C-alpha cells in the first residue's frame, strides 16, 4: 500500500493510454495513500514502451493498482498485484472485474512475506513502491534479487522520497530517472 504522508488522496485517477485509456479508478480516502500521478505513469510507460508487450509484471505494494493496470492496458501479458490491506484488495479486484481484465491476480499478503516464498516464475517488470515511512526498499530489493523473482534483464521501477538513497543490488543499473515534487522515480535495469 502506498503511504507517504497523512494527507488523504480520495478521488479518481485515470488510465493514461492503451486499451483501457480513459478508464477511471477510484482512490479511497485513506490517510497517506499515494497513487503514482498520471504524469509520472505516462513518463514511466514511455520509457517502457519497447519492452512492455507481453511482459510478466509484479506490482508489490499495489495500493490502487494503477501501475499494474496501466501496464496491462499497454499490453503486458500478466500482472500479479500484492497488497496487504484487505479493503484495497477488494477494491482492486472490483476494478479489474469492472474493466474486464482477466490476465491479473490479486494477492492479499505482506509483500516481504510473499517474497519469502519460492516464485512460480520470474518477472520481466516489477513495480517497487512501498510505503515511504516503512523503509522497505532495501529488504524488498534484496528479496527480489536473491529469491529468483527477476528474469535476467528485468526492469524494476522504484519510487522513493527525493532525498532517499536506498541501498539496492549492485547489478541494478539506473536506466532512466526523474523527480516529481518530493518524489524520485527511477527505472532500473537488472544486469547479468
Domains within the chain, CATH numbers bracketed:
3-190 (3.40.50.150)
Please report the pLDDT score of residue 31 as a whole number: 63
Averaged pLDDT, 93-119: 92
What number of CA atoms fall less than 13 Å from residue 112's CA on the CB side?
Answer: 11
- The answer to whether residues 20 and 46 touch, using CB atoms and an 8 Å cutoff, is no
> Nearest 5 degrees, angle CA 192-CA 49-CA 42?
115
The band of 44, judged by pLDDT with boundaries at 50, 70 and 90, is very high
Q: Cell numbers of 126, please? A: 516489477
Would you say 157 and 187 are in contact if contact means Cβ atoms under 8 Å apart? yes
Query: Span 31-39, mean pLDDT?
Result: 72
Rounded to the nearest integer, the mean pLDDT of the chain is 87
Rounded to an integer, what distance in angstroms lies between the CA atom of residue 139 and that of residue 73?
Answer: 29
What mean pLDDT do residues 30-40 have? 73
**3-state DSSP call for residue 47?**
helix
Task: Provide the pLDDT for residue 110.
Answer: 92
Does pLDDT of 29 surpass 80? no
Amino acid at each position: 500500500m502506498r503511504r507517504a504522508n497523512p494527507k488523504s488522496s480520495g478521488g479518481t485517477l485515470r488510465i493514461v493510454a492503451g486499451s483501457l485509456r480513459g478508464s477511471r479508478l477510484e482512490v479511497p480516502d485513506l490517510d497517506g495513500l499515494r497513487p503514482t500521478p498520471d504524469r509520472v505513469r505516462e513518463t514511466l510507460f514511455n520509457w517502457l514502451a519497447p519492452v512492455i508487450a507481453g511482459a510478466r509484471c509484479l506490482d508489490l505494494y499495489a495500493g490502487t493498482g494503477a501501475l499494474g493496470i496501466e501496464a496491462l492496458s499497454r499490453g503486458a501479458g500478466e500482472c500479479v498485484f500484492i497488497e496487504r490491506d484487505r479493503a484495497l484488495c477488494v477494491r482492486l479486484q472490483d476494478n479489474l472485474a469492472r474493466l474486464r481484465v482477466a490476465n491479473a491476480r490479486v494477492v492479499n499478503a505482506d509483500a516481504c512475506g510473499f517474497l519469502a516464498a519460492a516464485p512460480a516464475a520470474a518477472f520481466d517488470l516489477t513495480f517497487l513502491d512501498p510505503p515511504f515511512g516503512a523503509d522497505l526498499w532495501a529488504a524488498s530489493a534484496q528479496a527480489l534479487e536473491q529469491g529468483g523473482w527477476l528474469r535476467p534483464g528485468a526492469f524494476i521501477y522504484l519510487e522513493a522520497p527525493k532525498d532517499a538513497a536506498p541501498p539496492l543490488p549492485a547489478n541494478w543499473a539506473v536506466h532512466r530517472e526523474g523527480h516529481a515534487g518530493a518524489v524520485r522515480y527511477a527505472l532500473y535495469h537488472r544486469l547479468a
